[in-house]
């Protein structure tokens, strides 16, 4: 009798699970996307699109996926990079999670780098990987207007509708790159030391090492430094990668042996190029808080910083710890984003309820519906453009 009860219980459990699966399947079928993606219209007469490079290291799969959903829009293009220290299984699971998002599956605008690179802290491998991502974006898609770099520790403070709306009134050849030629202490501690990044030639993780000799500050070109987080125009990236002038390659060779080359490479290229030096808007639209005295990385943001974050008028903020509660508040109050769902925009046409992702259905992906946070960002961009128009902040 006991064995019969056990058999009946097993049969009941299997039947119950089957019914649950069928119910979920019917819900998925009801909320599934249209069979064909809407037509993405790109060009000068349409809102701008963005090419995103999002990167992280071992253990950053979940953070990268969350960040991708927070900045996702069908009009944009995305390249994700889990560096070489991440296991292949983590990379495969990231791909599987991306493919589970209906819009991403339909529009096919997210790619994960399969053959990963080493990313050495303070080393030149970071700028090499950034240039590679830009080259991939140029090869895959001709429609995006600006290139945006984000790490797994970053998070947006506005929706993509907000960002595209504000940048619709910005000249598409402008570059948002915080820069200065006043090197200060960096001249002795960053530019004169000669460093070597083993990640360029070793098949294993290793830290940079510094040569005993130093070298003078260059006089063949003027050195600039600034924030490593940039929003660069497509035309400038084509100049850096396709290279009809030798300047980008010459400076890449120099910055191979500079500590934290991502804080100076693009800045020095653009400010030494007659064609692009007047396209530099001196700001990166990032919100950060530096410790006092400043450390190598900015202060980790948390709930106590939320009001300051909201009032900053920035497009992105950094740095955040994994799953910090302040990220949930940003999702809820700013992005209106549900867990494991893309941040909604005007393109999302599905109903908003507990079981359905509103972005699993869509209509016209070329329309925008900016929210109240767009006003703050618009003020920040306008202030930067006032400085740019006065030419007081251009490659000085």
Give 15-49 pLDDT, tens digit per residue. Answer: 443 433 333 333 333 334 444 567 899 988 999 99
Contact at 8 Å (CB) between 229 and 287?
A: no
Tokens of 136: 């991939």
Tokens of 227: 């924030």
Note the pTM of the prediction, 2 decimals: 0.89
d(C-alpha 1, C-alpha 4), whole Å: 5
pLDDT (0 to 100) of residue 290: 87
Q: How far is CA 362 from CA 41, 263, 369, in A?
A: 15, 39, 14
Greatest mean pLDDT among 19-28, 263-272, 350-359 lies in 263-272
pLDDT (0 to 100) of residue 37: 63
d(C-alpha 352, C-alpha 71), whole Å: 19
Confidence tier at 202 by pLDDT (50, 70, 90): confident
Confidence tier at 393 by pLDDT (50, 70, 90): low
Instruction: Tell me how long the chain is.
Output: 396
- Whether the pLDDT of residue 378 is over 60: the answer is yes
Confidence tier at 244 by pLDDT (50, 70, 90): confident
- Whether the pLDDT of residue 83 is over 80: the answer is yes
Contact at 8 Å (CB) between 53 and 131?
A: no
Domains defined for the chain, CATH in brackets: 50-183+220-390 (3.90.550)
């Amino acid at each position: 009798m006991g064995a019969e009860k056990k058999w009946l219980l097993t049969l009941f459990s299997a039947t119950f699970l089957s019914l649950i699966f069928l119910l979920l399947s019917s819900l998925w079928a009801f909320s599934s996307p249209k069979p064909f993606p809407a037509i993405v219209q790109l060009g000068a007469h349409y809102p701008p699109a963005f090419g995103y490079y999002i990167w992280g290291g071992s253990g950053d799969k979940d953070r990268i996926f969350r960040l991708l959903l927070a900045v996702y829009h069908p009009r944009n293009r995305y390249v994700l990079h889990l560096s070489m220290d991440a296991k292949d299984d983590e990379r495969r699971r990231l791909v599987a999670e991306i493919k589970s998002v209906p819009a991403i599956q339909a529009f096919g605008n997210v790619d994960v780098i399969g053959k990963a690179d080493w990313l050495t802290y303070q080393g030149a491998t970071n700028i090499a990987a950034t240039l590679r991502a830009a080259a991939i974006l140029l090869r895959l898609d001709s429609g995006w207007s600006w290139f945006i770099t984000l790490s797994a520790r970053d998070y947006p403070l506005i929706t993509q509708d907000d960002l595209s709306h504000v940048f619709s009134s910005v000249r598409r050849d402008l570059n948002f790159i915080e820069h200065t030629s006043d090197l200060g202490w960096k001249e002795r501690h960053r530019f004169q030391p000669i460093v070597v990044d083993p990640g360029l030639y070793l098949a294993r993780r290793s830290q940079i090492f510094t040569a005993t000799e130093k070298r003078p500050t260059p006089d063949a070109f003027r050195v600039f430094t600034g924030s490593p987080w940039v929003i660069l125009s497509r035309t400038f990236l084509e100049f850096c990668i396709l290279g009809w002038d030798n300047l980008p390659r010459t400076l890449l060779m120099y910055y191979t042996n500079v500590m934290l080359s991502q804080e100076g490479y693009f800045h020095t290229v653009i400010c030494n190029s007659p064609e692009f030096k007047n396209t530099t808007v001196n700001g990166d639209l990032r919100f950060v808080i530096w410790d006092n005295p400043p450390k190598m990385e900015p202060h980790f943001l948390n709930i106590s910083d939320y009001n300051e974050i909201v009032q900053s008028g920035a497009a992105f903020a950094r740095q955040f710890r994994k799953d910090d509660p302040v990220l949930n508040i940003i999702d809820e109050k700013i992005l209106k984003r549900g867990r494991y769902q893309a941040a909604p925009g005007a393109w999302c046409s599905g109903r908003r309820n507990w079981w359905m992702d509103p972005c699993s259905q869509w209509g016209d992906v070329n329309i925008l519906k900016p929210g109240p946070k767009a006003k703050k960002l618009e003020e920040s961009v306008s202030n930067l453009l006032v400085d740019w128009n006065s030419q007081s902040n251009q490659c000085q």
